[in-house]
Amino acid sequence: MPQLREKTNSFHYVFGPVLSRRLGRSLGIDLVPFKTCTYDCIYCQLGRTTLKTVLRKEYVPLEAVLHELHQKITANTVFDYITLAGSGEPTLHSGIGRFIREARKLSDKPIAVITNGSLLWDAAVRNDLAAADVVIPSLDAASESTFSQVNRPHDAISFARMLEGLIAFRSEFPNRIWLEILLVDGITSTESEVNALVQIVQKIKPDRVQLTTVTRPPAAGPARPVPRELLDRFAAMFGENTEVLAAIPKHETTPVGTASKDDVLAVVQRHPCSLDDIAGSLGIPLEEATRHVETLLHDCLLTTYVLDGVVMFVPLRREPSDNTTKP
Ligand code: SF4
């Protein structure tokens, strides 16, 4: 799968900037190959995890990632954050700490890490994230049973171990922690589950809680979104510093630049998008997004499916797989 990216994109590891609900114009960094993760969440937009692992190693060459970042910066790319996220779990990359320190030398923009938080019980991972400005870990469940159902973790990660890591990280990390809680209809959307989550959040003490639900179609799995009114009601249970993550407001999607067809492909490779999503994420006019999508369809690099009457674009290469492997 990465081979396709090598043939079509001049950038393999750095994508965007994309407009993000939380981080403005976010320059994405992908430190692991498509879909290398410690979890196999039922709501994952990328499809089934093909390498489920807890093994930390240099999955992609760090020098190449830093070189691409340097290229983006010297091309005067406008962005608000450098964000580690993408095709899997970034803390699996053993060089993430070094990446953050080196990126800091290349740019004065803040650095955010979007992580599932599953490896924070490992002191080396906590140490690696110490230099980040914002860490956005996930907590999607309040018990071993709902954790298994929603996140389908690697066997080495118990709910207790994951939670212990989140609490330890908070006690050491001096910068901002925004805890993302994604609720799935019919599994974690009950008052008792949310009550239990509230108790746990009080122990973790994040700077912010960001409540969300399934916003894009999962490529595999039965996850359904929680209705907005219910999310608002649950948000009130968490109290202050809690927000419901909504779609990017219309005014933020005003075109702010241009993009290449490779930029469009890089975004679609990280999550399924409608034409509006593509234009909004990249800050380009709808006509420009349409032109690039038509080319990518013609080149057999994208395919489509219809969800609730909206045409969604996904890379042609993505095929859900059950071939999870363990170290
Ligand atoms: S949603 Fe994130 S943590 Fe869950 S399987 Fe997908 S990439 Fe991994």
Establish whether residue 162 lines the binding site of ligand 1, counting it when its CB lies within 6 angstroms of any ligand atom. no
Ligand 1 centroid from CA 121, angstroms: 18
pLDDT band at 310 (very low <50, low <70, confident <90, very high): confident
Establish whether residue 47 lines the binding site of ligand 1, counting it when its CB lies within 6 angstroms of any ligand atom. no
Question: What is the distance between the alpha carbons of residues 151 and 141, in angstroms, rounded to a whole number?
Answer: 8
Which residue segments constitute the domains of the chain, with CATH numbers given?
Answer: 2-246 (3.20.20.70), 252-317 (1.10.10.10)
9-65 tens-digit pLDDT:
578 999 988 888 789 889 999 999 999 999 999 999 888 899 999 999 999 999 999
Ligand 1 centroid from CA 74, angstroms: 31
241-288 tens-digit pLDDT:
999 986 544 444 556 667 888 888 888 887 778 888 888 778 888 889
Question: What is the distance between the alpha carbons of residues 23 and 209, in angstroms, rounded to a whole number?
Answer: 15
Establish whether residue 116 lines the binding site of ligand 1, counting it when its CB lies within 6 angstroms of any ligand atom. yes
What are the residues whose beta carbons fall under 8 Å from the beta carbon of 29, sequence distance 6 or more?
13, 14, 65, 69, 82, 83, 84, 85, 86, 90, 99, 103
Task: Give the closest residue (by CA) to ligand 1 atom 4.
Answer: 41
Q: What pLDDT score was predicted for residue 7? A: 36
Residue that is written with structure tokens 């674009």 in the block: 313
Half-sphere exposure of 100 (CA within 13 A, CB side): 25
Q: Burial letters for 297-327: b for 16+ Cβ neighbours within 10 Å, e otherwise?
A: eeeebbeeeeeeeeebbbbeebeeeeebeee
Establish whether residue 49 lines the binding site of ligand 1, counting it when its CB lies within 6 angstroms of any ligand atom. yes
pTM of the model: 0.84
Q: Is 78 exposed, middle or buried (0-12, 13-18, 19+ CB in 10 A)?
A: exposed
Atom of ligand 1 at shortest distance to CA of 116? 3
To the nearest 10 degrees (0 to 180), the angle between helices 286-298 and 275-282 is 120
The terminus-to-terminus CA distance of the chain in angstroms comes to 20
